[in-house]
Amino acid sequence: MRRVHLIGHSGHGKTTLAVALIAHWTVAGLCVGSIKHTGHVHELDAPGKDSWRHRQAGAHPAAIIAGDRLALHLPLHVADNPYALLTAHYAGCDLVLVEGDVGTTAPQIEVWRDGLGVPPLAATRAGIRAIITDDRTGLPLAHWPRQDVPRLAAQILELAGA
């Protein structure tokens, strides 16, 4: 499963960007799967929630990982690798876009906005490949402008090797 993770602090625009990217790739004819990863335990999937929005944007299949549950409503145990459990369901995808999961070893791209007053995760975490922002960070890694969705889509596909 080729996957790329959009990570970042809450409120920095990860979901909005994920929906725009999924819609762009879907219109271009790609099969894009999505996974919403959250550390919070809650009831899974409801209209208006992030994973529901991913599906509305065209992601197929779509899933959400939340604490001890995994929608497609499979039980998820602490020792399980959720991505290994999902691999067969995403086999036909050209790309899987994961929103969240800073603990992964898969490629990570941070979505960040200076105006929210918190430093980028990339300032203290290794392994982040690029920052999607229209602001300056002073960090020595690639900065991709937020507003150019076609360019971002191409850069993310290149990063994923898709």
pLDDT at 44: 54
Among the CATH numbers 3.40.640.10, 3.90.120.10, 3.30.1330.40, 3.40.50.300, which is that of 3-160? 3.40.50.300
Residue ranges in the chain assigned as alpha helix (H): 14-27, 50-57, 82-86, 149-160
Strands 3-7 and 32-38: unpaired
pTM of the model: 0.82
- Which is nearest to 32 in space by CA: 130, 100, 99, 105? 99
- Half-sphere exposure for 145 (CA within 13 Å, toward CB): 5
pLDDT at 74 over 90: no
pLDDT at 38: 84
Instruction: Specify which residues 3 forms β-bridges with.
Output: 96
pLDDT at 73 over 50: no
Task: Report pLDDT digits (tens) over 82-140.
Answer: 999 889 999 999 999 999 999 999 999 999 999 999 999 999 999 999 999 999 999 99
Asked whether the bond before 74 is cis by omega within 30 degrees of 0, the reply is: no
Which residue would you say has higher pLDDT here, 61 or 73? 61
pLDDT at 75: 56
